[in-house]
Amino acid sequence: MSASEPIPMLDLKAEYALFEPQLTQSLLGVLQAGQFVLGPQATALEREIAQYCGVGHGIGVANGTDAIHLVLRALGIGPGDEVIVPSFTFIGTSEPVDYTGATPVFVDVDPRTFNIDVDAAERAITPRTRALIAVHLFGQCAELPRLKALCDRTGIALVEDCAQSIGADFAGKRCASWGVAGCFSFYPSKNLGAYGDGGMVVTQDARLAEEIRVLRNHGSRARYHHHVIGYNCRLDEMQAAVLRVKFAHIDQLNTLRREKAHGYNRRLAGSGVITPHEHGQGTHVYHQYTLRHPKRDAIRVALEAGKIGAMIYYPIPLHRQDVYAARGTPVSLPHSDAAAAEVLSLPMFPMLTDAQQDRVCEVVASAAKDC
Ligand SMILES: Cc1ncc(COP(=O)(O)O)c(C=O)c1O
């Protein structure tokens, strides 16, 4: 590989090349079958992912934001209610709370894992709290046993935002199986990515599953009979067909990500950057490989000069976003602020090569030394 060849943040073409024959066959099958919405591909994927997570029900939806929204709606959450959300996450975690008319209550994160701080979450509980959304950020589970115990004790619903964590577990129990429901995003860049938008809710609760099935399909149990005002947010057959091909290999793909992450750790040891912390109580599936350094902007500039992709997930924590900050009641969430100021995500995808990792790390180490 030449020193000037760009290294992307994510290489979806390499992944496509790996699965091309199966993808073509699977997509052709949908075209030939002529059923594009609420068909056998989506139903099969729902069964496969629910089974993989160890729960009874899967409901395909249009994206990960809708997955969270429909869970909150099905739980009956609405105006006057509060939902606890970590501040250091993508806004797709909190928007659904606002859709319902409830209020997101932002809390701080653990500075090592970037996942919700359980003690801070406990302090944020009020008589209005109805749910807590745990985000398994960058592919590592939040402290699920403690969160579940807290939610069970206080009678609030634990909802898992698994957008970045398909295949991750805590103490051998998969994410999405701890809370009342787990919500997946199949946005193309995710560990399991569609070729468009997609999402899924999985749950062990048959009643909740049924409610979500109705809500995703115009509030309809039987065609043209509408019991509630629902939505049009179904997972389509083309996306489900793509996802089924990739899902069959999800564990291998996640293992490759872990290998790349550990390869980065080895190369960056002693460089002065803080490499990702694995809490050691489950599998981290490295949706992102996110390091920390007080001068991360200088490292980013050096990577850019070397035509190497790097991203800041996330530059502004949710409590500081205009839309939320304008609501008043300022909160102090120092760990979320510090994370937003110091994180930098490096290229991460299963087909990343050794030579690419060598070059990324040379640039990172040299820039960190000069800081
Ligand atoms: C943590 C998190 N939550 C929610 C979402 C929303 O998912 P989607 O983009 O599929 O709506 C995403 C992904 O974009 C995400 O990363």
Closest alpha carbon to 243 in 164, 287, 188: 188
| 89 in contact with ligand 1, CB cutoff 6 A | yes
pLDDT on residue 371: 78
| 139 in contact with ligand 1, CB cutoff 6 A | no
Q: Which two tokens stand for residue 248?
A: 């069959």
Placement of tokens 């589970």 in the chain: 141
Q: How many angstroms is it from 155 CA to the middle of ligand 1?
A: 26
Q: How many angstroms is it from 161 CA to the middle of ligand 1?
A: 8
Rounded to 10°, the helix 12-33/40-53 angle is: 130
**Distance, CA of 275 to CA of 330 (rounded, Å):** 31
Rounded to 10°, the helix 237-247/250-268 angle is: 60
Domain ranges in the chain are 13-247, 249-370
pLDDT on residue 4: 74
Distances (CA, A) of 44 to 60, 61, 66, 162, 269: 10, 14, 20, 20, 44
Among 65, 162, 336, residue to substitute to test ligand 1 (most atoms within 8 Å of Cβ): 65
Q: Which two tokens stand for residue 342?
A: 């110091």
pLDDT on residue 1: 55
Closest alpha carbon to 254 in 355, 176, 139, 336: 139
Q: Quick one: CA dihedral 204, 207, 208, 210, positive or negative?
A: positive
Burial class (CB in 10 A: 0-12, 13-18, 19+), 252: exposed
| 15 in contact with ligand 1, CB cutoff 6 A | no
Amino acid of residue 207 = R
Domains 13-247 and 249-370 equal at CATH topology level: no
Q: How many angstroms is it from 81 CA to the middle of ligand 1?
A: 22
pLDDT on residue 39: 97
| 191 in contact with ligand 1, CB cutoff 6 A | no
Considering the domain delimited by 13-247, tell me its CATH architecture.
3-Layer(aba) Sandwich (3.40)
Q: Which two tokens stand for residue 249?
A: 């290999």
Contacts of 325 (CB under 8 A, 6+ apart): 319
Q: How many angstroms is it from 32 CA to the middle of ligand 1?
A: 31
Burial class (CB in 10 A: 0-12, 13-18, 19+), 297: middle
Amino acid of residue 116 = I
Long-range contacts of 26-33 (CB under 8 A, 24+ apart): 26/241, 26/242, 26/244, 26/245, 27/238, 27/241, 27/242, 29/241, 30/237, 30/238, 30/241, 33/237
Q: How many angstroms is it from 176 CA to the middle of ligand 1?
A: 15
| 65 in contact with ligand 1, CB cutoff 6 A | yes
pTM, full prediction = 0.98
pLDDT tens for each residue of the chain, 371 residues long: 566 799 999 999 999 999 999 999 999 999 999 999 999 999 999 999 999 999 999 999 999 999 999 999 999 999 999 999 999 999 999 999 999 999 999 999 999 999 999 999 999 999 999 999 999 999 999 999 999 999 999 999 999 999 999 999 999 999 999 999 999 999 999 999 999 999 999 999 999 999 999 999 999 999 999 989 999 999 999 999 999 999 999 999 999 999 999 999 999 999 999 999 999 999 999 999 999 999 999 999 999 999 999 999 999 999 999 999 988 777 899 999 999 999 999 999 999 999 999 999 999 999 999 87
CATH class of 249-370: alpha beta
Nearest atom in ligand 1 to 185's CA: 10
| 314 in contact with ligand 1, CB cutoff 6 A | no
pLDDT on residue 3: 64
Placement of tokens 């139903």 in the chain: 43
